[in-house]
Structure 1
Amino acid sequence: MKNLRPLACVEIDEYDLISAPKANYAELLRLKPSVSIHYDTYLNNFPTIQGIGANPYNNDDSNHLRTCYTGKTIARGKLLKRIVENQTVEFQHFCAYCLSHTRYTIDHYIPKEDHPAYSIMPRNLLPCCARCNGIKGQTWLDNGERVFIHFYNDILPNLVFIQGHLSYFRNLPTIIFTLQQPAGLANDHFRLISEHFTRLGLLQLYKNGINLLISDIKHDVNNVRAMGMEPTVEQIKSLLVQKSTNFKNGYGPNFWKAIAIDLLANSIRFLGSL
């Protein structure tokens, strides 16, 4: 896992760009001073953002603010495109929330239904897949604590907190993933990571993906053979180690595929089966 890149912009200026062409511009202009205060809170006091309280706007004003996102204007489309294109190639295509599915949607970290002031705030808009977006839904707090990683604001440590265990069942390899708190990772940070993984069912998702990963590895080895070469066990291991390194460079040290490949690369039984 890696952090997403927040868009370099003046957030309230983006609100202006979205508001200007809309039919309810006068209402959005009237609401701008209070929206600006909410933006400042988000940007400058995020560690305590869970204490923002209830939506202060009435129904009409809330609906006006939500149209900044629900109204599919050219300005809105350009903003979302900039947010996505600001990411690395890997995260333009894959979901940062799960590192398993293709990114197709935008998540409102703080739901626009609960806090419409953040409906079009770039820092609140995170690219993700439809699966994660659907599971998360309007949830971001439980008992006053945040329960999903904010991939702009929660700085992910360069520490390994996912462990894998390789075993065989009916002569087929399987890998069980677990979370383990490494030295140097604060309790609150690990709690948030654990909540994120549990609520999105990521460890089971990764386990379910092992067969396809192994199939891909076999294809890689067969491609080498198709070029007229018969790789040795050591050469296959080197191929896997390089594949894992490439994954870690692109997705971070906790990318499940890299962890799985490291285990497989060090398994004589697996290497001998290829």
Structure 2
Amino acid sequence: MRNLQHYTDDAFEFHKEVLKSKNTTKKDPSYKERIENMDDAIEGQFSAYNDNFVRNTLENIDSYGHTDDEKNDLLKLYSYKNSVIKNLKVKITTTAANRIINTCPNCTISEINSFDHYLPKDEFPEFVVNPQNLFPSCTICNGYKNYIWIEGGKRVFLNLYLDSLPAEQYLFVNLAITGDVITTTFYLQNNGDINNDIFEIIETHYNKLHLLERFSANINEVITSLENTIISFVGKLPLDEIKDSIIEKSNRDRIAFGHNYWKSILEIELANCVEYMNRFVTID
């Protein structure tokens, strides 16, 4: 998990660009006109969003309170397949090295195949195509998040545009090895160096998206890849050098994909596990 580069151009102009891209149909020829009639209200809300976005205080925003008909019209603006929306996804997920990251930033497990609305679109339809409110996501995370975003006046999900993720390790894993079977228990722990407010959001983010359980359910691919790497070097390098190479590579991945990237945390724990590494000693 790592921070994303947020949209920096005029958000309201993006809203208008999405509207422009919509087709006018014979069935509803006045649709665009109805949306344009809400321009003043929407632009005012976008201004409030931006002010709170800069301060990272989105929990202070109140919904405009559109009528049901207005809400339904606004919700029709959003489509993941819309060309303007698709271009936004490419822009957000392209790294400085000009590589597109297509793994959900919320879980770093599944493929991006939707946008999550940080402020839920049913509660805040005016932000349905606000690019600062759209986060690349998988449908699994999107489904778990649903309409929940705040409890007791506090945000319960990380805002990967705004929340500075700690460089300190907070994700850990315990291993249990029985014969050839490896099971894992991932857990969160603040060893005292992480601000309590951000760690509280980290905890609710991981728990509500069921990330710890989802990590454990997806370990086989990581372990298979790791074992293939180890086996390819057995007999060519001493086991200690193989171990050091695994840890070095995994730490490079943590720089690229986040200090608490679950795959790297697992690989390092396995490399440091004497019982696990010793199973490769007898391989010819």
TM-score (norm 2): 0.85
Deviation at 1:72, TM superposition (A): 5.4
Distance 1:202 1:185, change over 3 A: same
Q: Which residue of 1 aligns with 2:172?
A: 163
**Residues 244 and 255 from structure 1, CA distance in 2 versus in 1: closer, same or farther, beyond 3 angstroms?**
same
Counterpart in the other structure of 2:2: 2
Alpha-carbon spacing, 1:89–1:161, altered in 2? closer, same or farther (3 Å): farther
Whole-angstrom distance in 1 between the partners of 2:225 and 2:107: 20
2:279 pairs with 1:239: no
User: Runs (4+) of structure 1 moved beyond 4 Å?
Assistant: 86-91
2: CA distance, partners of 1:239 / 1:71: 41
2:52–2:60 contact (8 Å) kept in structure 1: no
Inter-CA distance 81–260: structure 2 relative to 1 (3 Å threshold):
closer
Q: Give the counterpart of 1:121 among 120, 130, 133.
A: 130
- After superposing the two structures, state which structure 1 stretch, 112-121 or 241-250, moved more: 241-250
The structure 2 residue matched to 1:188, chosen from 194, 197, 209, is 197
Unaligned regions of 5+ residues in structure 2, if any?
25-30
- After TM superposition, the structure 1 stretch with the greater mean CA deviation from structure 2, 237-246 or 67-76, is 67-76
Distance 1:198 1:91, change over 3 A: farther
Aligned position for 1:30: 37
For 2:33, the aligned partner's letter is A
Q: 1:212: Cα distance to partner?
A: 2.8
Q: Is the contact between residue 49 and residue 61 of structure 2 (CA under 8 Å) also seen in structure 1?
A: no
Determine the structure 2 residue equivalent to 1:62. 71
The one-letter code of the counterpart of 2:273 is: S
Correspondence 1:127-138 to 2 at 5 A: 127-138=136-147
Q: Which structure has greater helix proportion?
A: 1
Among 102, 110, 123, which residue is 2:119 paired with? 110
Residue pairs, 1:1-274, within 5 angstroms? 1-22=1-22, 23=24, 24-46=31-53, 47-70=56-79, 73-85=82-94, 92-170=101-179, 172-224=181-233, 230-274=236-280
Q: Displacement, 1:239?
A: 2.6
Alpha carbons 1:109, 1:125 under 8 Å: kept: yes
Structure-2 separation of matches of 1:201 and 1:74: 32
**Aligned partner letter, 1:255:** Y
> Residues 171 and 136 from structure 1, CA distance in 2 versus in 1: closer, same or farther, beyond 3 angstroms?
same
> Is the contact made by 2:80 and 2:114 (CA closer than 8 Å) also made in structure 1?
no
Structure 1 spans left out of the alignment, 5+ residues: none
Query: 2:27 — aligned with what?
Result: none
- Structure 1 SS opposite 2:266: helix
Instruction: Kindly provide the CA deviation profile for residues 81-109 of structure 1, in whole angstroms up to 9, marking residues without a partner as x.
Output: 43344687777211111111122211111
RMSD: 2.4
Aligned length: 271
Q: What is the distance in 2 between the residues matched to 1:49 and 1:159? A: 26
C-alpha distance in 2 between matches for 1:103 and 1:204: 19
Q: Percent identity?
A: 26
| Change in CA separation of 1:54 and 1:8 when aligned onto 2, cut-off 3 Å | closer
Task: Provide the rounded CA distance (Å) in 1 between the counterparts of 2:98 and 2:251.
Answer: 17
Say if 1:4 and 1:87, in contact at 8 Å, map to a contact too: no
1:193 to partner: Cα distance: 0.7
